[in-house]
């Protein structure tokens, strides 16, 4: 038995060494691993420096307060906080521009179609530019270093500067895994954006987002009853003032207006219905996308047994849906949404609409649509990044805070901020603080 064990060991070791000394084998695996080793090493060093900087900033911020107050301060992740701040700004621009565009261009399906087209075009332009910066002949610069140090999972890992190989023959040639992953999300995007734009054209922006603010309750209910996950009682208690605060804020603004006619009541009810459907759709999308957009670290040799290197396993793990980058997901979700929206756009707004779509598409409207598309692109990229970094309930809470910012911007724009609305905002922020401080304690690690 001992002799047999030695003979097996002596056979395995030379086979591994021979495998890695084989030129053909190295040429096969160097594309996914060797080409990006240097940038990965530089990115790891950059991320470590950024982590230390964030820790220093956090300590300096906490030290500004007395020691008795420091223990009540919430835990702050500087990186996530900056991402959320930029997300709130782009979302505010996108949401308020939607209302401005729809007031001049009363074609919600047409706006959805233009949004999908712009999003796909921006994705293609961005990944092409990033691929160009990955070329070895491009000299190092701040812009190149910024792109190369993007968080893991945003850009494709196969970019090397070759346009024909990386863009034409890889990025624009989707695999079955990409279609299986992005087609359901494209359906979510298709239905969600049409219902969201339809509700925005019928009711105020603040009221649309007050309905969408119910998303944390829908998320908690789904995971509690459908998945059997256990939340502590404080999670439910802190969600109550959070949701009530948003509802009070938005409904107060609606009650400040004059009495509604029968036609206005019908329009109001339809707008609420579309907003509710949009909320359910986007909650479903967030739950579905959580397993896809979460970036998980992997070994350099992703095999069950590192002594048994299998190229088939390498390829299957490289094409795993979990490893799909966010720019690819957004590009193909936009393509799917554009294809699904096109028949409705042609049948309902090109031929059946009372006003001409092309006549309403003036240069000023096109400018607003372009700004809206760019803002929506950055908003979607940031949303995908945050979905992968946060738990579903925490992401819903961040989404609530985004809606508070959007509603606040809308109130300032309309100069219509009352005492009751201010009370609602304070109540909602109190609920957010309570959830972050006490309600975010998990019963199990599944949360």
Cβ neighbours of 344 (radius 10 Å): 15
> Any idea what DSSP says for residue 302?
-
Q: Is residue 122 part of a domain?
A: yes
pLDDT band at 323, cuts 50/70/90? low
Q: Is the pTM of this model over 0.75?
A: no
Q: Under the phi-then-psi rule, with left for phi > 0, alpha for psi from -120 to 50, and beta for the rest, what region is 442? A: beta
Q: What element of type H or E holds 284? A: helix 262-293
Spell out the alpha helix ranges (H) of 319-415: 326-345, 357-360, 363-389, 392-414
Q: Please tell me the total count of domains within the chain.
A: 1
Q: Who has greater pLDDT, 296 or 183? A: 183
Q: What is the pLDDT of residues 390-431, one digit of tens each?
A: 777 677 678 777 877 887 787 777 666 678 877 887 887 777
Give the integer Cα–Cα distance in Å for 195 and 279: 9
Q: Is residue 337 part of a domain?
A: yes
Distances (CA, A) of 120 to 86, 116, 286: 21, 6, 20
pLDDT band at 338, cuts 50/70/90? very high
Span of 153-157, 203-207, 267-271, 321-325 with lowest mean pLDDT: 321-325
Residue span of the structural domain in which 90 resides: 75-290+321-439
User: In percent, how much of the chain has pLDDT > 90?
Assistant: 11
Q: Is residue 8 part of a domain?
A: no
Give the integer Cα–Cα distance in Å for 406 and 400: 10
Q: Is residue 53 part of a domain?
A: no
Q: Is residue 384 part of a domain?
A: yes
Q: Among 99, 96, 52, which residue's Cα sits nearest to residue 78?
A: 52
Averaged pLDDT for residues 325-336 = 90
Q: Among 125, 265, 117, which residue's Cα sits nearest to residue 193?
A: 117
Averaged pLDDT for residues 138-158 = 80
Q: Is residue 299 part of a domain?
A: no
* Cβ contacts of 367 within 8 Å, gap of 6 or more: none
* Cβ contacts of 346 within 8 Å, gap of 6 or more: none
pLDDT for residue 312? 41
Give the integer Cα–Cα distance in Å for 79 and 192: 29
Span of 25-29, 57-61, 148-152, 348-352 with lowest mean pLDDT: 25-29
Averaged pLDDT for residues 174-190 = 87
Give the integer Cα–Cα distance in Å for 64 and 146: 31
Task: Provide the token pair at 443.
Answer: 């019963």
Instruction: Identify how many contiguous H helices and E strands the chain contains and give both numbers.
Output: 18, 0
Q: Who has greater pLDDT, 370 or 54? A: 370
Q: Among 197, 185, 199, 196, which residue's Cα sits nearest to residue 334?
A: 185
3-state secondary structure of 262: helix
Span of 48-52, 288-292, 357-361 with lowest mean pLDDT: 48-52
Q: Is residue 161 part of a domain?
A: yes
Statement: residue 33 has pLDDT above 50 = no
pLDDT for residue 354? 66
In this structure, what are the phi and psi dihedrals at residue 21, rounded to the nearest 5 degrees?
Answer: -90, -5
Give the integer Cα–Cα distance in Å for 234 and 436: 10
Statement: residue 217 has pLDDT above 90 = no
With 0-12 / 13-18 / 19 or more C-beta atoms within 10 angstroms meaning exposed / middle / buried, residue 331 is buried
Q: What element of type H or E holds 18? A: helix 2-21
Q: Is residue 305 part of a domain?
A: no
> Any idea what DSSP says for residue 442?
B
Give the integer Cα–Cα distance in Å for 114 and 375: 13
SS3 readout for 74-130: CCCCHHHHHHHHHHHHHHHHHHHHHHHHHHHCCCHHHHHHHHHHHHHHHHHHHHHHH
Q: Which of 99-108, 138-147, 433-442 has the highest mean pLDDT?
A: 99-108
pLDDT band at 315, cuts 50/70/90? very low
């Amino acid at each position: 038995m001992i002799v047999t064990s030695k003979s097996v060991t002596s056979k395995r070791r030379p086979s591994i060494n021979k495998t890695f000394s084989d030129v053909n084998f190295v040429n096969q695996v160097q594309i996914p691993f060797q080409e990006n080793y240097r940038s990965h090493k530089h990115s790891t060093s950059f991320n470590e420096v950024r982590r230390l900087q964030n820790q220093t900033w956090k300590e300096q911020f906490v030290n500004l307060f007395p020691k008795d107050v420091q223990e009540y301060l919430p835990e702050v992740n500087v990186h996530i906080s900056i991402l959320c701040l930029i997300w709130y700004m782009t979302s505010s621009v996108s949401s308020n521009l939607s209302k401005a565009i729809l007031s001049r261009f009363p074609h919600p399906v047409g706006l959805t179609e233009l949004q999908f087209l712009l999003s796909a075009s921006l994705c293609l332009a961005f990944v092409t530019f990033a691929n160009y910066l990955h070329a070895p002949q491009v000299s190092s610069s701040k812009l190149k270093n910024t792109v190369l140090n993007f968080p893991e999972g945003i850009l494709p890992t196969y970019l090397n500067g070759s346009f024909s190989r990386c863009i034409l023959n890889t990025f624009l040639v989707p695999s079955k895994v990409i279609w299986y992953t992005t087609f359901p999300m494209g359906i979510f995007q298709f239905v969600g954006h049409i219902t969201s734009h339809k509700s925005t054209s019928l009711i105020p922006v603040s009221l649309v987002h007050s309905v969408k603010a119910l998303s944390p309750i829908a998320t908690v209910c789904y995971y509690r009853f459908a998945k059997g996950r256990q939340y502590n009682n404080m999670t439910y208690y802190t969600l109550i003032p959070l949701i009530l605060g948003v509802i009070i804020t938005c409904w107060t603004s609606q009650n400040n207006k004059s009495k509604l006619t029968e036609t206005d009541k019908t329009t109001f009810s339809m707008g609420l219905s579309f907003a509710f459907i949009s909320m359910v759709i986007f909650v479903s999308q967030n739950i579905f996308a959580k397993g896809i957009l979460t970036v998980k670290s992997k070994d350099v040799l992703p095999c069950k047994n590192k002594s048994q290197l299998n190229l088939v396993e390498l390829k299957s793990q490289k094409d795993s849906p979990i490893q799909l980058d966010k720019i690819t997901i957004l590009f193909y979700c936009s393509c799917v949404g554009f294809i699904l929206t096109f028949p409705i756009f042609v049948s309902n707004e090109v031929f059946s609409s009372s006003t001409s779509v092309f006549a309403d598409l003036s240069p000023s409207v096109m400018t607003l649509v372009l700004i809206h598309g760019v803002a929506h692109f950055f908003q979607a990229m940031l949303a995908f990044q945050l979905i992968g970094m946060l738990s579903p309930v925490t992401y819903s809470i961040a989404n609530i805070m985004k809606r508070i910012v959007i509603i606040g911007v809308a109130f300032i724009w309309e100069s219509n901020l009352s005492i009751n609305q201010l009370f609602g905002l304070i109540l909602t922020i109190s609920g957010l603080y309570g959830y972050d401080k006490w309600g975010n304690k998990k019963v199990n690690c599944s949360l």
